[in-house]
A and B are shown apart, each in its own frame.
Chain A
């Protein structure tokens, strides 16, 4: 595992109070430290840590590479996890009701460009962080409010029926793998 020496280590302020730290390396070789409580919010990372047998003693010497997430998204994710590491576990939602209110801090954190939000939600999905996924989805869902079909079509990049049909035709016309 090679880490570019000139890349700065990103320290999120809340991390310092926690003695057990892990290192994560983003796809663009940024290194992040994250506390044990915070990293547990990511099912993927925590499974990885458990499977690798990382402990308080050897964690900082064994950075975890995350190829699918760039430094910018990882920074947001680490901030989010540190912020919510002591949150009480939320009850399972029933009957498809999402009653949570998106906290202002999180709304600010997720007030980013749509392209960044798209990449963040992919990263969140990969790292399996349910709470951040809920919050991202709420932000994206809220974008639909008071929008006409045409406005929504543009925001969500939804192809029209004609575009879908054309795509289907070109897919069926194109030669298969053997052609």
Chain B
């Protein structure tokens, strides 16, 4: 078979060809050389982002396009394989996704399989996910994590990314507090956190800084145990759905009361007043762990019926 010298075609033709090439083939093409990678990087695709499914023995990166939820996948598998001569040829292309071991790829039916040793898989997943994100510059849409029976070498769970739109954690065994804390503190979840796994009521984490707008704890027994009164009061979500929580009626009442009478005021009587040249007054109060800066646009606000925080 003769060659189609791709790079000798006019730029517009190359661009049209790449638009007509499926996502998995674009990944394969990008691995050939720096030039081919650059070509793929500048190609417009219908790729919307990635879903990542993390299990103990494999990580699946799924390609999601605007027309298809499953436009192909890359499976990073823990499996030692004997390489054939042809596969040895492919090893030079694995440098991007493997720092030490010698994985090899197979490309078949819109799926890439790459095989890694147990010691190497974490680093390979990290490099692989970073490679794909750099190649297509698309977000991680959904992460599905199944933490049951995870070996120590497979931690941390998140590799190659530090933010995603939606995180789903599912399992039968209670997730360790330190694991959940590590996930929530290191991974920015932009839209939704769904816990379908038993959690502990001793879980402690400051949820004030979290961005996600939805939190769902369901299906599994004890999935809502981490939702204590403190956690509930610190959440700033627009949708919360909890099954199996240990919340009491009093907890719910407190939450409701805060919604019903949200007004509160700080006691500023012991603060320092500062007046700007234009007459605008502010008060500065420095307490342990809190710095309060109040600007008095209305010098004498009506505080009747408002709770005073001292």
Q: Which residues of A are in contact with B by a Cβ distance under 8 Å?
A: 95-99, 113-115, 117-118, 121-122, 125, 133-134, 137-138, 140-150, 152-161, 164
* CB nearest neighbor in B for A135: B20
A138 contacts which of B20, B26, B31, B93 (Cβ < 8 Å)?
B20
* Chain A residues positioned under 8 Å from B239 (CB to CB): none
Kindly state whether residue B45 has any CB partner on chain A within 8 Å. yes
Question: Which of chain B's residues have a CB closer than 8 A to the CB of A137?
Answer: 13, 16-17, 19-20
Q: With the chains together, A147 CA to B26 CA distance in Å? A: 10
Q: Which of B10, B35, B66 contacts A164 (CB 8 A)?
A: B35
Chain B nearest CB from A40 CB (Å) reads 21
Task: Say whether chain B's binding surface is mostly helix, strand, loop, or mixed.
Answer: mixed
Q: Considering the chains assembled together, what is the distance between the CA atoms of A24 and B191 in angstroms? A: 61
Interface size class for chain B?
35 or more
Contacts A114-B2, A115-B2, A157-B5 given: A144-B25 contact, CB under 8 Å?
yes
- Which residue from chain A places its CB closest to the CB of B27 in the assembled complex? A149
Partner of A148, one of B19, B20, B34, B107: B107
Contact A140 B67 (CB under 8 A): no
Q: In this complex, which of A98, A113, A149, A152 has the most chain B Cβ atoms within 10 angstroms of its Cβ?
A: A149
Extra A-B contacts (16), CB below 8 Å, given A145-B25, A159-B35:
A96-B45, A96-B46, A97-B46, A113-B2, A114-B4, A121-B13, A137-B17, A141-B18, A147-B28, A149-B31, A149-B32, A150-B89, A152-B28, A153-B33, A157-B6, A158-B29
Report A-chain residues with C-beta under 8 Å of the C-beta of B16.
133-134, 137
Q: Tell whether, in the assembled complex, residue A97 and residue B90 are in contact, meaning their CB atoms are under 8 Å apart.
A: no
CB-defined interface of B104-140 with A at 8 Å, one 1/0 digit per residue?
0111110000000000000000000000000000000
B1-12 CB mask vs A (1 if < 8 Å, else 0) is 111111111101
Q: A160-B33, A164-B33, A164-B35 are in contact. Are A143 and B4 (CB under 8 A)?
A: yes
Least CB separation from A117: chain B residue: B4
Known: A96-B45, A98-B20, A133-B16. A156 touches B4 (CB 8 A): yes
A97 touches B67 (CB 8 A): yes
Q: List 18 A-B contacts (CB under 8 A).
A: A97-B67, A114-B1, A137-B17, A141-B22, A143-B4, A144-B26, A144-B28, A144-B29, A146-B108, A148-B105, A155-B1, A156-B4, A156-B7, A157-B6, A157-B7, A158-B33, A158-B36, A159-B33
